[in-house]
Structure 1
Amino acid sequence: MCGIVGFVNTKDRKEEIVTDMMDRIVHRGPNSSGSYVDKHVALGFRRLSIIDLEGGTQPIYNEDRSKIIIFNGEIYNYQPLREELIQAGHIFTTHADTEVLLHGYEEWGTGLLQKVRGMFAFVIWDNEKEELFGARDFFGIKPFYYAEMNGTFMFGSEIKSFLPHPDFDKQLNKDALKPYMTFQYSPLNGETFFKGVHRLQEGHYFIYKDGKMTINEYWDANFEQKEQKSKEEWINEIDEAVQSSIAAHKISDVEVGSFLSSGVDSSYVASVLRPDHSFSIGFDDKTYNEAIEARKLTDMLGLDNTAAVIDGDMSFKAFPLIQYHLDEPDSNPSCVPLYFLANLAAQSVRVVQSGEGADELFAGYQTYGFHTNSKAIRVLAQGLKKLPKGTRYSLGRKIGKMKNFHGRIHLYESLAPAKEYFIGHAKVFDEKESLEFLQSDYAKGPSVAEIMAPHYAKTDNIKDEVNKMQYVDVHQWMPKDILLKADKLSMASSLELRVPLLDIEMMKLAQQIPSKFLLNQNNTKDIFRQAANRHLPEEWSNRVKLGFPVPIKVWLKEDHGYQQVRELFEADFAKEFFNQEKIMQLLNDHHEGKREEQRKIWTIFSFLTWYKVFFIDEEIPTTEAIEYETV
């Protein structure tokens, strides 16, 4: 695992500039660094040593040194590919997975991307063609940003690596704030929160030559083709695939640990992996403590577990650094415990496996249409799903307009077209409501409908509404929120996070399963839970998904948390973006117990914290060494 940076231009000072860029992401690779510079290009690399500890330093060259690669990620099937390439005549100088990508590109061109299994973002510079080739993995597990500014094409694992470049023009993208208020993360399909900075989309590659960038898609999810198998057959195949993927994701020359929450996904991973070390984080909240619940499982399974408790004071102190590492504002409350969890694990291991991806692949979210505890209503909804599509849609729309009754949301979202209501798993501000809080210059960004339209346009041939929502998540919620925070906040502590449940082989299986086996009257991701049940206590596999329960509601009612947020809400710079009277009313109403508005407050607070870090303070936030209270 590492970080990559680079740029293409014909200007001077390349070595100095690329070194400064590498220094900005030293947290991604504290073990070593390397660079390549010529009159056209500069490539930089920071290394966290995982495979071929002595010989895997980058950049790596092909036999005649005409091609050079820098790579961030892991290729889990690199060993058989390496043997195939050796048989084809390629000469390897390392035992690292990186070199397989380089020779694989020589041998198969872009067809390489159909052969690899892994998480990756990489570029290959071809000296002879004066051409840059780059790609990002199927799901966007690893980040890749690029910008063309002032005669320079620059790229890197993190946006902050662009800041030292003299050609980088740092400007806030005003169009990003309005949709962020609804989505809680940066949802744009084009630019990021930094104007002119783009993400390479998941499942895409690019070629940059003669000042022009060409981008192509090499993979997309396909939920159209279903296999007809029995429930028991699907359970068997899921369990076999999970065990195989976890084994493939163990490949490493250093120890592999695991994250562990109280939910089924990370518990399934830990129970199969059976690592020497697992790690859990909880809050000093009397209602629910994730760390204590996770410890119950490790006691049952006989696994080692390091669990710690954090509090609001620790969280507020670390919050500017959390937003710095994210590159763009994200108000997902789970960012806080994830940062501390990675920091805790990094004190013992360099690599962990985690449970991201199972909810998207196997329909685990309640927002896919599982909103009631009433078995009768769930059975009714399942039956109504069998109605002809037009009838079902019409009935769903009528229910959606009715006065509220128990089970109305469940029935509505089970029957209505997904594109009329589903945008993912966070909806903070209603789009119209956000306009009441924003100043006019920041109320002109793209609408929710405009952001979602390109994704839904690709679901016309998908018959099942649950599959449509899964498809949307694969291209919106997952790469822009879930995977972004997983990568950035683990690498903040120089920790490699692997996601065996989000794997191309797992996806090939999951997209063939009829949704009736996943989301039904019994549960979300039903047969996935039953597969997990073979390794876990039964009460564990059927637990309701909680994510990371973060007590921000309580923090904002306490004087310390209230004062932390109030200081930013009253700051002079805040009025550039928000109606200060409105946001202060929001905060005070929550603090006084008149309304519960913690998610809206946290979303505004996250943005203001991020903006202050990048545009006012303009320096890396500092924090004291973390002292954990273990449980």
Structure 2
Amino acid sequence: MCGFAGLLSSQSLSQPKNEFATVKTMNNMLVHRGPDDAGYFQDEYITMGFRRLSIIDLTAKGHQPMPYLNDRYLLTFNGEIYNYLELKKELKTEGYQFQGDSDSEVLLAAYAKYGVTVPQHLRGMFAFVIWDTEEKVLFAARDHFGIKPFYFATENDQFYYASEQKALYPILRERQFNHEALQDYMTFQYVPEPETLATSIHALEPGHYLIKRLGEKPRVQRYFNATFTPVQAKEDVLVKRLRKALIDSVKLHLRSDVPVGAFLSGGIDSSIIAAIANQYHPNLKTFSVGFERPGYSELSLAAETADHLGVENYQLTITPGEFMTTFPYFVWAMDDPLADPAAVPQFFLARLTRRYVTVALTGEGADELFAGYPIYHEPQSLRIFQKTQIINGALHWIATLMPAGMRGKSFLLRGTTPLEKRYVGDAFIFDEAQKAQFLKNYDLHHPAPQAVAKYYREVATADPLTKMQSIDLHTWLNGDLLRNADRTSMAFSLELRTPFLDRKVFQVASQIPSEMRIQGKTTKAILRKAAEGLVPVAVLKRPKLGFPVPIRHWLKDEMYDWARQIIITSPTDQFFRKAYFLKLLANHRRGKADYSRQLWTVLTFMTWYQQYVLTASEKERW
């Protein structure tokens, strides 16, 4: 895996040494993404920087920025093209020549042939930039699901880009804080793409490419839209297709010239990946983390699954002290704040894994593709309100009058509120009324549903389950899970691969009718059937466990003073009425309610603000 950074000027560089120094500074912020090699290219308009983590073609022929066709094209590329051998074979028959064995060179040749449609021919995870020295055009693209990141900013006549935002923050002179993004963060526990907490920095969204011509604004175009299109087919036929697609995807994801391992929890997703990988990769190593507190560890389940599969399993138990000590570096690694508590143990898991292997497989994406979250049962549980539509308005009014915490209030409110207004994704931290109480710059005209409205419009005629999956597929997946996967792994120079998020697997998953995704109380029903015979029966029947983290208990006990100190000392009074959070923490400690997710969201932002905004050289630039 790798990282890149660059600067494109619309005018011929007047001080190329300054631009080179700028890009070198940006590139040095990404050493963790590529500790094996550094490379640069500069001409009269562009300066390109690259950091390499060697995975395929360990020779110097994989060095980047990589030239092609007599130096017409220059490439910096972060990711893996899993079908590069097949593409290379096709391109050779058409006369394209290759000097090495890297997928980077294949990508360049494919661009020479296909131009802007090249992402549609790729199976893999990628973010890349190609500079055409003849046409003076920059082309960039991000993979179908957003596994690999890409950020860009325009300032005056200069276009900046990088694999991580932290490479852009020190460079931009005119940064403004994005208050709307903060408001969204307090709902989602992450900033929904393409926005960031800096108004000038944007994420290139999944399934999009970007074209930047000299003197013109960057043009962003979608090339892929992950859409569910169910078909009429027998279940056993779809099960066979799915099993075949999964096996093929895992085999492709195992292509590497360095050691490969796999994350292993006690759940079905990672177990499926490890089981298939073990068939084609002898002596597979697996890795798991957990906690000492009963009910918050899957280590025994992971060990049980590993024994059944006959694979090695390396384990780590995390203490609250280690959690607090590691937290600042975790926040720094995330770029914009990510308040998913499960991301922190994955940080430890990546560190453990990197001691033994350079590449690891993981199960991200299965819940979004096959309907794995418990909340996806909601359309069934609220079906009764379809019969009471005439009086739903009155029922909703009655629910608003019921005391907070009264049994049935939440059920009535959810049942009488349209899906488009109540569901913004798998995580929902603070509602609008709560945000209005503590946000000093709360904008009444920017409610959370605005961030997902465009995705609802695209699935207006779909059933409720499909709508919910689509929202999560376009927001939660890339905004939370894949950011978590990329940043936690790259913090330790570990390449993390996600076989479920393969376009061929999605092609099958998108065709599965909703009644085959959830059957009764069983989530991911068809995936469980496709995995029969691969993983233990006990694993197939297990409900979704998530990645349980005992912050509810820790914030009452071991972490209470730590959390209170962060809130009190945080210089964020311009944003918050901090008394609200101190009361929240006190009530949490007294056991009045579980406010751990809300508190974690606040603590994460405050720690981020201290690191990214209030460094000595940056205080005056927001």
TM over 0.5: yes
Instruction: Letter of the 2:508 partner, please give it.
Output: L
Among 571, 574, 582, the residue aligned to 1:573: 571
Contact 1:121/1:135, CA 8 A, preserved across alignment: yes
Give the match's secondary structure for 1:227.
coil
Residue 422 (structure 2) aligns with? 421
- Name stretches of at least 5 consecutive residues in structure 1 with no aligned partner: 372-377, 621-631
Instruction: Letter of the 2:226 partner, please give it.
Output: A
| Distance in 2 (alpha carbons) for counterparts of 1:320 and 1:101 | 37
Residue 255 (structure 1) aligns with? 259
| Distance in 2 (alpha carbons) for counterparts of 1:346 and 1:393 | 55
Among 301, 305, 312, the residue aligned to 2:320: 312
Give the match's secondary structure for 2:614.
helix
Residue 471 (structure 2) aligns with? 472
Contact 2:333/2:487, CA 8 A, preserved across alignment: yes
Among 581, 590, 594, the residue aligned to 1:596: 594
Deviation at 1:405, TM superposition (A): 10
- % of aligned pairs identical? 38
Among 145, 156, 163, the residue aligned to 2:162: 156
Residue 241 (structure 2) aligns with? 237
Deviation at 1:457, TM superposition (A): 1.3
Question: What TM-score results when the alignment is normalised by the length of structure 1?
Answer: 0.90
5 Å-filtered alignment, 1:77-88, equals 77-88=83-94
Residue 448 (structure 1) aligns with? 448
Contact 1:323/1:609, CA 8 A, preserved across alignment: yes
Residue 209 (structure 1) aligns with? 213
5 Å-filtered alignment, 1:160-179, equals 160-165=166-171, 167-179=172-184
Most deviating of 337-346 and 581-590: 581-590
Most deviating of 405-414 and 5-14: 405-414
Most deviating of 577-586 and 276-285: 577-586
- Which deviations, in whole Å up to 9, do the C-alpha atoms of 1:106-143 show, x marking residues without a partner? 11112212211111100100111111001001111100
5 Å-filtered alignment, 1:365-404, equals 365-370=373-378
Deviation at 1:195, TM superposition (A): 2.1
Residue 366 (structure 2) aligns with? 358
Contact 1:399/1:408, CA 8 A, preserved across alignment: no
- Which deviations, in whole Å up to 9, do the C-alpha atoms of 1:359-395 show, x marking residues without a partner? 0011111112259xxxxxx6x878x79xxxx768669
Residue 583 (structure 2) aligns with? 585
Contact 1:21/1:163, CA 8 A, preserved across alignment: no
| Distance in 1 (alpha carbons) for counterparts of 2:516 and 2:177 | 45
| Distance in 2 (alpha carbons) for counterparts of 1:48 and 1:411 | 53
Instruction: Letter of the 1:177 partner, please give it.
Output: L
Query: Residues 572, 409 of structure 1: CA spacing in aligned structure 2 closer, same or farther, 3 A cutoff?
Result: closer
- Name stretches of at least 5 consecutive residues in structure 2 with no aligned partner: 400-404
Deviation at 1:178, TM superposition (A): 1.4
Contact 1:144/1:156, CA 8 A, preserved across alignment: yes
| Distance in 2 (alpha carbons) for counterparts of 1:618 and 1:263 | 45
Deviation at 1:442, TM superposition (A): 5.0
Contact 1:354/1:500, CA 8 A, preserved across alignment: yes
Contact 1:277/1:305, CA 8 A, preserved across alignment: yes
Most deviating of 64-73 and 87-96: 87-96
Contact 1:280/1:305, CA 8 A, preserved across alignment: yes
Residue 524 (structure 2) aligns with? 525
Give the match's secondary structure for 1:428.
coil
Most deviating of 120-129 and 584-593: 584-593
Contact 2:6/2:23, CA 8 A, preserved across alignment: yes
Deviation at 1:602, TM superposition (A): 0.8
Contact 2:396/2:416, CA 8 A, preserved across alignment: no
5 Å-filtered alignment, 1:138-149, equals 138-149=144-155
Most deviating of 339-348 and 87-96: 87-96
Deviation at 1:485, TM superposition (A): 1.0
Contact 2:275/2:535, CA 8 A, preserved across alignment: yes
| Distance in 2 (alpha carbons) for counterparts of 1:521 and 1:618 | 57
Contact 1:282/1:292, CA 8 A, preserved across alignment: no
Residue 66 (structure 1) aligns with? 72
Residue 627 (structure 1) aligns with? none
Query: Residues 577, 76 of structure 1: CA spacing in aligned structure 2 closer, same or farther, 3 A cutoff?
Result: same
Question: What TM-score results when the alignment is normalised by the length of structure 2?
Answer: 0.92
| Distance in 2 (alpha carbons) for counterparts of 1:415 and 1:600 | 25
Deviation at 1:484, TM superposition (A): 0.8
Deviation at 1:417, TM superposition (A): 4.9
Residue 218 (structure 1) aligns with? 223
Query: Is residue 2:190 matched to residue 1:191?
Result: no
| Distance in 1 (alpha carbons) for counterparts of 2:445 and 2:154 | 22
Give the match's secondary structure for 2:294.
coil
Query: Residues 84, 69 of structure 1: CA spacing in aligned structure 2 closer, same or farther, 3 A cutoff?
Result: same
- Which deviations, in whole Å up to 9, do the C-alpha atoms of 1:120-178 show, x marking residues without a partner? 1001001111110010011111000000013310001101111343x443442222211
Contact 1:35/1:43, CA 8 A, preserved across alignment: yes
Give the match's secondary structure for 1:300.
helix
- Which deviations, in whole Å up to 9, do the C-alpha atoms of 1:544-572 show, x marking residues without a partner? 112110000111111x4111111111115
| Distance in 2 (alpha carbons) for counterparts of 1:365 and 1:396 | 27
5 Å-filtered alignment, 1:232-311, equals 232-274=236-278, 276-311=284-319
Contact 1:262/1:294, CA 8 A, preserved across alignment: yes
| Distance in 1 (alpha carbons) for counterparts of 2:49 and 2:373 | 39
Residue 27 (structure 1) aligns with? 32
Contact 1:400/1:408, CA 8 A, preserved across alignment: no
| Distance in 2 (alpha carbons) for counterparts of 1:310 and 1:235 | 38
| Distance in 1 (alpha carbons) for counterparts of 2:7 and 2:177 | 22
Most deviating of 229-238 and 476-485: 229-238
| Distance in 2 (alpha carbons) for counterparts of 1:564 and 1:505 | 47
5 Å-filtered alignment, 1:534-613, equals 534-558=533-557, 560-571=558-569, 573-613=571-611
Give the match's secondary structure for 2:275.
helix
Deviation at 1:511, TM superposition (A): 0.7
- Which deviations, in whole Å up to 9, do the C-alpha atoms of 1:548-599 show, x marking residues without a partner? 10000111111x4111111111115132221122111111111233332111
- Which deviations, in whole Å up to 9, do the C-alpha atoms of 1:488-527 show, x marking residues without a partner? 1110010000000111011111111101000131411111
Among 130, 134, 159, the residue aligned to 2:140: 134
Query: Residues 234, 414 of structure 1: CA spacing in aligned structure 2 closer, same or farther, 3 A cutoff?
Result: farther
| Distance in 1 (alpha carbons) for counterparts of 2:42 and 2:438 | 48
| Distance in 2 (alpha carbons) for counterparts of 1:532 and 1:394 | 44
Give the match's secondary structure for 1:570.
helix
| Distance in 2 (alpha carbons) for counterparts of 1:231 and 1:449 | 35
Residue 629 (structure 1) aligns with? none
Give the match's secondary structure for 1:112.
helix
| Distance in 1 (alpha carbons) for counterparts of 2:245 and 2:545 | 25
Contact 2:7/2:158, CA 8 A, preserved across alignment: yes
| Distance in 1 (alpha carbons) for counterparts of 2:617 and 2:30 | 14
Instruction: Letter of the 2:340 partner, please give it.
Output: N
| Distance in 2 (alpha carbons) for counterparts of 1:433 and 1:408 | 17
Contact 2:296/2:550, CA 8 A, preserved across alignment: no
Deviation at 1:618, TM superposition (A): 5.7
Most deviating of 404-413 and 335-344: 404-413
| Distance in 1 (alpha carbons) for counterparts of 2:338 and 2:312 | 32
| Distance in 2 (alpha carbons) for counterparts of 1:164 and 1:60 | 27
Residue 402 (structure 2) aligns with? none
Query: Residues 527, 412 of structure 1: CA spacing in aligned structure 2 closer, same or farther, 3 A cutoff?
Result: farther
Contact 2:377/2:521, CA 8 A, preserved across alignment: no
| Distance in 2 (alpha carbons) for counterparts of 1:107 and 1:394 | 59
Most deviating of 421-430 and 23-32: 421-430
Instruction: Letter of the 2:80 partner, please give it.
Output: E
Deviation at 1:409, TM superposition (A): 7.3
Deviation at 1:190, TM superposition (A): 4.2
Query: Residues 312, 434 of structure 1: CA spacing in aligned structure 2 closer, same or farther, 3 A cutoff?
Result: same
Contact 2:131/2:138, CA 8 A, preserved across alignment: yes
- Which deviations, in whole Å up to 9, do the C-alpha atoms of 1:254-289 show, x marking residues without a partner? 121000111110111111112521000001212331
Query: Is residue 2:40 matched to residue 1:41?
Result: no
